[in-house]
C-alpha cells in the first residue's frame, strides 16, 4: 500500500513528521520525548503569532480540501 508518514504528509494530512531516533522511539524515550517537545513548542509558537481567525480559516480550508479529486 505504501502508506508512510512522508506520503501522508505530502498529501496534506499532517503538518510535520517527527523523526524517531535511530532504533526507534521505544528504544530511546528521552530522545523522542525531547523531539516531540521541541516540535510541539515550535508549532504552538507559530500558531500564537497568527490571529485566531486566520488559524481557524486555514484549518477549515485544509479540512474542506480533503477528498477533493484533482487531475
pLDDT per residue over 6-37, tens digit each?
Answer: 888 888 788 888 988 888 888 889 999 999 99
Residue 31 belongs to some domain of the structure: yes
Residue 21: burial class (beta carbons within 10 Å; 0-12, 13-18, 19+): middle
Of the two residues 27 and 41, the one the predictor is more confident about is 41
Residue 25 belongs to some domain of the structure: yes
Total domain count for the chain? Answer: 1
Residue 9 belongs to some domain of the structure: yes
**Closest to 55 (Cα-Cα) out of 39, 43, 67, 38:** 43
Residue 35 belongs to some domain of the structure: yes
Host domain of residue 60: 5-65
pTM of the complete model: 0.72
- The rounded distance, in Å, linking the Cα atoms of 57 and 62 is 8
Amino acid at each position: 500500500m505504501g502508506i508512510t508518514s512522508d506520503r501522508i504528509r505530502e498529501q496534506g494530512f499532517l503538518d510535520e513528521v517527527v523523526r524517531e531516533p535511530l532504533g526507534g522511539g521505544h528504544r530511546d524515550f528521552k530522545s523522542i520525548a525531547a523531539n516531540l517537545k521541541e516540535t510541539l513548542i515550535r508549532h504552538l509558537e507559530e500558531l500564537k503569532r497568527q490571529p485566531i481567525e486566520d488559524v481557524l480559516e486555514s484549518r477549515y480550508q485544509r479540512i474542506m480540501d480533503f477528498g477533493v479529486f484533482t487531475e
